[in-house]
Chain A
Amino acid sequence: MSVIAQIERAGLLGRGGAAFRTANKWRAVAERSRGNAVIVVNGAEGEPRSMKDRFVMTQRTELVLDGAFVAARELRANRVVLYIGERHAAARDAMLRAVQGRPERERRLVSVALAPARYVAGAEAAAIHFIDEGIATPVNMPPYPVERGVGGAPTLVQNVETLARVALLARGLPAGGTLITLAGAVASPGVLEVDSETTIGEALAGAGGMSEAPRAILVGGYFGRWMETQDAVAIGLAHGNGLGCGVIGVLPASRCPVCEVAGIMRYLASESSAQCGPCFFGLRALADTCTQIANDVSKPEDLSRLHRWANDVRGRGACKHPDGAAIFLSSALDVFARDFANHRHTHALSRTA
C-alpha cells in the first residue's frame, strides 16, 4: 500500500492547528509534482504556550526526518526545507545533527530557514513567503501552497509532529496518539502524549492534577476557545475536536479572567502582520476595549462593541489571524460574561479567592 493510502486509511489530520486532512494535501502535491516538489518541515512553533513541536524535534528527531524524506520520495521532491523557530536552538541543533547522519542522497536536498519568532510565521503562506523572500508575512491564497509554493513549485508544508506520525505509518506502525502541551495551573505542566480516547480531565490528572482551583480552561491555545472547566474536562483529545495546536491552558480562580483575556488580546493585536485593515485596526480596537474594561474605564457600549467587532473581523484577513483572535475573544465573552459585565466587582473577588 502506498504511503498516501496508509495516511488516508489512518485518517491522519495535520497537527499544526488546522487539522487539515494530511492525505488530501499529499495527493494534491503528488498530482502536481514533476520531480520539483518542495517539502517544508514546519517547526516554527509560534504559539506562545506550545512546546510539543520542540519536543518532537529534540526527542523524536529521526522520526521527523524520516517523515520528511518519505514525503520527498513519495511526492518526488527535490528540496526539503527545515523551517525552525529562530529561538528554538535546541530543536535546531538536534535536527541539524541528525541531518548529518543521513545518507548523501537525502542530505543534499536539505536547507534550513529560521522562522522569525512571530505568531503568524508558522502559517503555510508565511513560511513560503519567508523561504522565498525573507518576509514571514502571509500572502493571499489562492494559489495554495500545494499548487504554487516555494519557488513556484508544488509545496507540502507539514507540521513536524504530523511528519513524525507519517514516519510511524510508513514503518507499518500505528500513527499513535496526540501530543499536547499542558499549561497554566497544572501540577506538572509540559508535553504529554495521549490517545484520542483520553479526556482533558484524564490528561490533567495524569500530570498531577490542577495546582489550584480552576476558573476555566483554554482549549487549543490562543487560537482556541475558553470553556467552563466541567465542560472542558469531558472533551476527548481527538483532532477535529477543536484541539488546535494542542495547548490546554488552565486559568486558576485566583486570576482575573478579564485581565488575562485583555493581555492575550493585546499580544494577538501586536502580532498582526499589519497587512489587512480589519485585522490591524480591528484587533487593536478589540484589545484596547478589553484593556479599558480591565482598567475599569470602559463605556457602557463597550461590551456590545466587542461582540460586534469580534463578528466583523472574522474571515476578513489574507490569513486566519483575525479569525483566531475573534473566536478566542467570543468564547471569552461567553464564558466570562459576568466578569466582563461587572469587572470591578468580580476582579476584587478573584483576587481574594
Chain B
Amino acid sequence: MSDRPVMLAVDRIRCDGRGLCAELLPEMVRLDDWGYPILAAGPVPEHLRSHAERAVEACPVLALAMRRAEPKP
C-alpha cells in the first residue's frame, strides 16, 4: 500500500490527439488548439478516480495512464 498521490500522465509520443480523454474527464483534461490534451496540475482527486480510469481505458492508442507518483532517481 502506498499513500503517494495518483497522477495522470500522457505518453506524448504515443498521443495522437484523438481527444476522448477530454470528453470523458473534462474536469482534468482540456485540449489545446491542435487537439492535444493539457492536463490539470496535481493528483487525481478521489471523487474523479473512476472517471479517470474510464478515460485511461478509452484511449485508443493507450497514451493515457494513471500511476502513483514516483521520485526521480
Residues of A with Cβ closer than 8 Å to B?
28, 139-140, 142, 144, 146-147, 275-279, 281-282, 285, 309, 312-313, 316-318
Is B13's beta carbon under 8 Å from chain A? yes
Q: How far is the CA of A139 from the CA of B33 in the complex (A)?
A: 24
B36 contact from A146, A147, A275, A277, Cβ within 8 A:
A277
Task: Give the chain B neighbours of A147 by CB distance below 8 A.
Answer: 73
Known: A285-B33, A312-B38. A276 touches B13 (CB 8 A): yes
Contact call A278/B73, Cβ cutoff below 8 A: no
- 8 A–B contacts, CB within 8 A, in A order: A276-B12, A276-B15, A277-B17, A278-B36, A281-B36, A282-B32, A316-B36, A316-B38
Task: Give the chain B neighbours of A318 by CB distance below 8 A.
Answer: 12-13
Please name the 3 residue pairs, one residue from A and one from B, whose CB atoms are nearest each other, closest first.
Answer: A281-B34, A276-B12, A277-B36
| Interface membership of chain B positions 27-58, coded 1 if the CB is closer than 8 angstroms to chain A and 0 otherwise | 00000111110100000000000000000000
> For chain B, which range describes its interface: under 10, 10 to 19, 20 to 34, or 35 or more residues?
10 to 19
Name the interface residues of B1-29: CB closer than 8 Å to any CB of A. 11-13, 15-17
Q: How far is the CA of A312 from the CA of B35 in the complex (A)?
A: 12
Query: How distant is A282 from chain B, measured CB to nearest CB, in Å?
Result: 7
Main secondary structure of the interface of B (DSSP, over half): loop
Contact call B15/A144, Cβ cutoff below 8 A: no
Task: Give the chain A neighbours of B33 by CB distance below 8 A.
Answer: 285, 309, 312
Contact call B73/A28, Cβ cutoff below 8 A: yes
- Which chain B residue shows the least CB distance to A317? B12
Query: How distant is B57 from chain A, measured CB to nearest CB, in Å?
Result: 20
Query: How distant is A289 from chain B, measured CB to nearest CB, in Å?
Result: 11
Known: A28-B73, A146-B73, A316-B38. A275 touches B13 (CB 8 A): yes
Contact call A140/B32, Cβ cutoff below 8 A: no
Q: How far is the CA of A318 from the CA of B10 in the complex (A)?
A: 10
Task: Give the chain B neighbours of A282 by CB distance below 8 A.
Answer: 32, 34
A277 contact from B34, B70, B72, B73, Cβ within 8 A:
B34
Contact call B16/A277, Cβ cutoff below 8 A: yes
- Which chain B residue shows the least CB distance to A319? B12
Interface centre among B13, B36, B72, B73 (most CB of A within 10 A): B73
Contact call A140/B12, Cβ cutoff below 8 A: yes
Contact call B34/A140, Cβ cutoff below 8 A: no
B35 contact from A276, A277, A316, Cβ within 8 A:
A277
- Which chain B residue shows the least CB distance to A273? B13
Q: How far is the CA of A281 from the CA of B16 in the complex (A)?
A: 12
Q: How far is the CA of A316 from the CA of B9 in the complex (A)?
A: 11
A140 contact from B13, B38, B70, Cβ within 8 A:
B13
- Which chain B residue shows the least CB distance to A137? B13
Contact call A278/B12, Cβ cutoff below 8 A: yes
Contact call B12/A316, Cβ cutoff below 8 A: yes
Q: How far is the CA of A318 from the CA of B9 in the complex (A)?
A: 11
- Which chain A residue shows the least CB distance to B14? A140
Q: How far is the CA of A279 from the CA of B13 in the complex (A)?
A: 10
Task: Give the chain B neighbours of A309 by CB distance below 8 A.
Answer: 33
Query: How distant is B21 from chain A, measured CB to nearest CB, in Å?
Result: 13
Task: Give the chain A neighbours of B13 by CB distance below 8 A.
Answer: 139-140, 275-276, 318
Q: How far is the CA of A295 from the CA of B70 in the complex (A)?
A: 47
Query: How distant is B15 from chain A, measured CB to nearest CB, in Å?
Result: 6
Contact call A277/B11, Cβ cutoff below 8 A: no
Q: How far is the CA of A282 from the CA of B17 in the complex (A)?
A: 13
- Which chain B residue shows the least CB distance to A29? B73
Query: How distant is B40 from chain A, measured CB to nearest CB, in Å?
Result: 13
Contact call B34/A275, Cβ cutoff below 8 A: no
Task: Give the chain B neighbours of A317 by CB distance below 8 A.
Answer: 12
Task: Give the chain B neighbours of A316 by CB distance below 8 A.
Answer: 12, 32, 36, 38
Contact call A144/B12, Cβ cutoff below 8 A: no
Task: Give the chain A neighbours of B38 by CB distance below 8 A.
Answer: 312, 316
Interface centre among A277, A285, A318 (most CB of B within 10 A): A277
